Structure 1
């Protein structure tokens, strides 16, 4: 996969900002007491689809949380469409994924700490 064009990056930033807003203000009822962060958005070259990476804070079960979001994907797309209709010709299809970067970083930190402790 090549580098994203400026147009894709700009569109992805727009979608990220608006989806983040939707999660915080309009859709918090689908995951009560869970903070959802849109960590990254990647747009297809034709802007017809986006991959949305989410981070969940305070979620008892991350798999269940992402499945709940996927079940409501049409609602998110509709709300996004209402916000970006003046800036985009089409409302992209939304694909949601868990961003597990933080868990990976924590796991690596633990491993490095274990190695350092063994050396001392």
Structure 2
């Protein structure tokens, strides 16, 4: 089984720019109403779909309302990714920190208002 999370949004161009230039995702497929991106290790994908597109059924037409969704991206070295994000001038929403349960992480926000938690899990 493979999971592909999708966000219904008018911000296809902004999403592509953010995920490819900031987080180094690649483009699997795109057309005028749909964008499918893959993670740098090619193990997961995320998609973006224009709202109210006539080719889509009603369940896939309502635009995301900028709340109630977050993504977690696990990386090998969160400190290196943090430095890279800072160099790229992206606003940090949660500064890098160690949590009592062992995670080291920070968070940014994508153009759709989705919180993106970037984490390195510590072995317990």
Q: Greater helix share, 1 or 2?
A: 1
Q: TM-score, normalised by structure 1?
A: 0.29
Q: Greater strand share, 1 or 2?
A: 2
